Structure 1
């Protein structure tokens, strides 16, 4: 796919270009971005060059990763990044970072809503997932504000700087945005009844554990 531009009320989401090297390098010096995202740590100029000249164009060309630079719609430098990553079977995963001076103003939630709507209407996405290492409360606040359902914890769900970490995981469906899904979704009508462990006990079984068990 050729890179595209998306817009929202306040934001313009465009493809990264090599000329973004200085500002990407500067933003990725932020300790929180290096701590919670998968950017290299330390983040060098060579990392920025590799991201802008290899990872970004390869992702668009291969239809595997779509990375957007986020900037004010009325003009100004980029202050965030957001990407969609193919996970197969119509499932995509969203990831993002935001410069510290722009946090707490709703920009990241607005950007996530924008790319989620495009994923559902332009990519045939059937399920958009979000994951974050446990403790990344800022990312979780964005996901919940957008409408993701936090489904639980994945043990060893994220490989982060050579170490597996437990992760929160959430999902967003087209129906959450009032949109049709390319594939019908049939949720259960009600939760299955809880199983009483005593129901499987044999008559006369006290449930105690004897020596050597």
Structure 2
């Protein structure tokens, strides 16, 4: 897929670029990001370099993952038309199978608590439903990751349960929460008819 840029009232979401390497490396030093996500730990500069220069373009080119850098929009008149503010988060959509599309994200420590992550999740969800025809967007987080769960629930995900050994984290299988968002949850028209069990 051609790399895509999304915008919201406060944010620009665009594919990571080589110039993002320094900010990615700095953000990933946060112990919470290393604890709750699958980024390498310790997170070295080479990891950031490989991510922005190899992993991101490969994902877009092969339609396996669509990672976005989430940046503040520059204030009107500041820095010209292409100006961007700082990196505030990362979000990615991972296409596992036709039936399994998952969103994952982390927020830069200094920018948490401002609603940026929820805003980004909603923008990406609308994009996958309207542009990619995705039927169901899943979210998973290791049990205990209250921050990720709060974002998912604010974005409208319905937590559907707990998967035993549902996440592999640094060589260990761990329990995770799982939730899902459907187009109907955002008042969007689904790409396929949906017949819930309760409607049979």
Structure 1 consecutive aligned stretches of length 4 or more whose deviation exceeds 6 Å: none
**1:87, CA displacement in angstroms?**
2.2
Q: Deviations over 1:135-190 (max 9, x none)?
A: 00000000000000000000000001111000000000001011111111101237
1:117 aligned residue: 126
**Structure 2 contact 70–89 (Cα < 8 Å) conserved:** yes
1:26 aligned residue: 26
1:66 partnered with 2:37: no
**1:90, CA displacement in angstroms?**
4.8
**1:79, CA displacement in angstroms?**
1.8
1:107 partnered with 2:107: no
Structure 2 runs not aligned, ≥5 long: 75-83
Q: Deviations over 1:49-96 (max 9, x none)?
A: 111111100000001100000001123121210000002225310000
**Structure 1 contact 91–126 (Cα < 8 Å) conserved:** no
2:39 aligned residue: 39
**Structure 2 contact 88–116 (Cα < 8 Å) conserved:** no
TM-score by length of 1: 0.87
Measure, in 1, the Cα distance between the counterparts of 2:100 and 2:12. Answer: 24
Return the match for 1:155 from 153, 158, 164: 164
**Larger Rg belongs to:** 1
1:57 partnered with 2:66: no
Matched ranges for 1:66-85 at <5 A: 66-74=66-74, 75-85=84-94
Q: Which SS does the other structure have where 1:93 is aligned?
A: strand
User: Which structure is higher in strand share?
Assistant: 2
Q: Which SS does the other structure have where 1:87 is aligned?
A: strand
